[in-house]
Amino acid sequence: MCRRSGGSVYGTLMFTLFSGIMLAGAAGAARAQELPAMITTLIEQLAEEGCDAEALILHYEGLLARPLNLNAATRRELVASGLLTLFQQESLLAWRERYGAIRSAAELALVEGFPPEVVAELRPFVQFGETAPAQRFSNTTSFKGRNKWREKGLSVTAKHSFEAPQLSLHAVLDNDPREHFPDFISLSGQWKGFFAGDFTARFGQGLVVWKSFSLSAFGSPATVARRGNGLQPYRSTDESNFFRGAGWTGRFGHWSVTAFASRNALDARIVDSSYTSITTGGLHVTETERARRHSLHEYVLGANVACERGRWHIGVTGAAYRYDKHNGRRVQDYNRYQQYDGWWGNLGADWYGTLGSLRLFGEVAVDAHLAPAAIAGLLWSPSYNFETSFTARCYAPAYIATHAGAHSTLSSVSNQIGGTGSVRWIHGPWTLQGDLEYVYYPWKRYRAEAGTQQVKGRLLLSYVFHNGAMLLSQLSYGSTWKARLQADLPLGKAWQLAARADANLHGFAAYAGLRWQPSKRWSLAARLTVWRTEDWASRICFYEQNVPQSFAVESYYGKGIGAYLLVKYAPIRYVDLYLKVQQGYVSYFVRIFIPG
C-alpha cells in the first residue's frame, strides 16, 4: 500500500509542478516564508483552547503569500485579517482618510498604535500601494508525510492551490497509515462569486452557520468579536468540517446575498437503517471504521442576506438540513434535547458595528421548534495600550444547531448561560492580560447533573526586552490550577533559545529549545523535553514546532525524556524541504511555490 500511495502522489506532484512551471512565466512575488514567532505563539494559545490549528496556519500562510494591502483594504478586510486590534483598525482608517495612502513601513510607524516593534512583526503580512495591485496567478504544491517508527504505513497529505484573478482552484489528498488509498480527496473552486466542490461558511457570530475554524475567547480581548467571511474554498484535511456542493455570493451596493446547497457523506454507525452515532475522527483502519465510512448523507440548504453601510453590518442567516436516515440514538437525560428527525433548521439575525472606540456585536437565533439562543458583546479600545471586552450568552437547553460554531464550553451550542470578560494593558515593554469566564448549565450533561457551573480564569504577564527577548508568566484555573513560565532569547543573528515550564497540582513538564538559522536556505530547531505527572488526567500539553501546515500536539504524562530535531533546507528558489525526527515518528514536507 505504501508503494502504491507513494507512486500516485509522486505522479500528482510532477504533473502540478510541470503545469505550474509552464504557467509561471516571470517570477515576481516573494517566496513562501515561515510564520513569525508572533503568529506561532497566537496559534499555540488558540489551539490550546480547542481551535483548528491547521486552518489557522493556512489562514496566516495565505497572508504571507498574498499580503494585505493596508491602503486598499476595507474595514471588513482589516477585521477579517486577524492582524490588527480594534484601535489599530480605526487609527489606520482615520489616517488614510486624513493623510491618504501609507507608502512605507517607516510611515506606518507614525500612525498611532503602530510602534516600530509592531510594524516589524506585521511587515511580512502587509504591503503598501495607492490601490489594490493587479492580481497575478500563483501555484503552490506541497507534500507532507509522517511515519511512526513502530507502526506500519505512511501518513500522506498532498495539496495544490492555483490562484488567479477572480479564479482559485484547490486540491487536497490525505491518507492515514493502513487506510485504503486514497482515503480523503477534497476539490474546491471559486470563480468570481461562484463556489463549487468543498467550501466553508461563516456568518454572524456563529449561532446558525459557522462551518470553519473559530477563534477562542481566551486568545485576546478582540477575538471575542467574530466577523464572518461568507463562503470560502476548503483547504484543510479535516474530513467532516466542510460543506460539499455549490454556492454563490452576489453584491449589490451595500447589500450582499449568499446561497448554498450541500450534500455531504458522513461516517456513522448504522443499525436497522437508522444512525445511532456520528463519528468525525476521519480514521478508517479497522473493519468497523471502514463499515461506518460515508454510510450517512446530509443535505443542507442555506442563505444569508446582509447590509453593510459605513461602520455597521446587519445580516440574516437561515439554514435547513436533514439526514437520509432516521435518528436511532438512544434517548438519555443528557441528550434528550439534542435529537431531531427529518428536516431541521435555524434562523438568526446578527449585527456588528463600531461607535468610536467601542465595537458592538451579537446574534439572536431560533431553531425549528423556536428554542432560542443569543450572544452579545462589546469591545472597547480607547488607545493602543488598553483593550477590554465582555460577552454574554444564553443558549436554551433545547436549542439544536448542527452547524453552529459560536463560542461554547460544550461540543454543542446549547444548555448554558455564561459570560466572558477580558482585559489587556500595555505599558512600554510590559503586557498584562486577564481573562475570566463563568458558565451555568441548567440541564443535565454527560456524567453531570443539572444546575452545574464552571469557572475559568487566566492571568498573563509578559516583558519584551530591547534585543527582542521575551519573558512570559501565566497562571490559569480551569478544572485545576496551572502555572507557566516561558522565555525566548535571541543569541546573535542566527541563534534563538526558547525555554518553558508548565506545572499543575499533580506534575510538571519543561522543555529547552534551540534554533539556528545561518541563512535563508538553512534552519535547524531542536528541543529537549522532560516531564513527570501522576496520570493521564494531570497531563500537560505542548504545541511543538512542526513541518508547515501542521502543529504537533504532544500530551505528556507519567515520566520521561523526549527530543526532536526539525531541519529546513531551501535548495533552490521557491522550493522548501523540511524534515522532523522525533523518538516516536519522522515527518517530512515539500513545498513548491511558483508565482506569476
Look at strands 184-191 and 585-595 and give their pairing.
unpaired
pLDDT at 32: 45
Query: Residue 31: is its pLDDT beyond 50?
Result: no
Among the residues of 231-380, which ranges form H helices? 287-292
- Distance of alpha carbon 53 from its chain centroid, rounded? 5
User: For 514-541, what is each residue's pLDDT tens digit?
Assistant: 999 898 889 999 999 999 999 888 888 8
Query: Residue 135: is its pLDDT beyond 60?
Result: no
Look at strands 296-309 and 344-355 and give their pairing.
unpaired
Any idea which of 136-145, 186-195, 210-219 has the lowest mean pLDDT?
Answer: 210-219
pLDDT at 129: 72
Query: Residue 472: is its pLDDT beyond 60?
Result: yes
**Average pLDDT, stretch 262-278?**
94
List the grid coordinates of 27.
517570477
Q: Give Cα separations from 425 to 51, 456, 465 (angstroms).
A: 25, 20, 17
| Residue 381 near residue 390 (C-beta atoms within 8 A) | no
Nearest to 426 by CA among 474, 464, 398: 464
User: For 368-378, what is each residue's pLDDT tens digit?
Assistant: 999 999 999 99
User: For 378-420, what is each residue's pLDDT tens digit?
Assistant: 999 998 899 999 999 999 999 999 999 998 888 889 999 999 9
CA torsion through residues 406, 211, 456, 458, sign: negative
Query: Residue 53: is its pLDDT beyond 70?
Result: no
Residue predicted with more confidence, 428 or 596: 428
Q: Give Cα separations from 430 to 294, 433, 465, 590 (angstroms).
A: 52, 10, 9, 39
Query: Residue 308: is its pLDDT beyond 50?
Result: yes
pLDDT at 37: 62
User: For 221-242, what is each residue's pLDDT tens digit?
Assistant: 887 888 888 999 998 888 888 9
Nearest to 355 by CA among 315, 399, 311: 311
List the grid coordinates of 514.
534551540
pLDDT at 28: 33
pLDDT at 8: 35
pLDDT grade, residue 15 (50/70/90)? very low
pLDDT at 43: 67
Residue predicted with more confidence, 104 or 510: 510
pLDDT grade, residue 10 (50/70/90)? very low
Top mean pLDDT of 13-22, 38-47, 206-215, 464-473 is at: 464-473
Q: CB atoms < 10 A from the CB of 484, how many?
A: 16
pLDDT at 375: 97
Nearest to 174 by CA among 149, 150, 196, 142: 142
Q: pLDDT exceeding 70 applies to what percent of the chain?
A: 88
SS3 label, residue 88? helix
**Average pLDDT, stretch 295-322?**
96
* Calpha distance 343→369 (Å, rounded): 11
Query: Residue 553: is its pLDDT beyond 60?
Result: yes
Residue predicted with more confidence, 142 or 51: 142
Query: Residue 459: is its pLDDT beyond 60?
Result: yes
**Average pLDDT, stretch 544-570?**
84
pLDDT grade, residue 30 (50/70/90)? very low
Q: Give Cα separations from 432 to 261, 425, 459, 472, 540 (angstroms).
A: 45, 5, 8, 10, 24
**Average pLDDT, stretch 30-43?**
60
pLDDT grade, residue 11 (50/70/90)? very low
pLDDT at 484: 94
User: For 78-91, what is each residue's pLDDT tens digit?
Assistant: 887 878 888 888 88
pLDDT grade, residue 47 (50/70/90)? low
pLDDT grade, residue 148 (50/70/90)? confident
pLDDT at 138: 78
* Calpha distance 226→203 (Å, rounded): 9
pLDDT grade, residue 546 (50/70/90)? confident
Residue predicted with more confidence, 177 or 395: 395
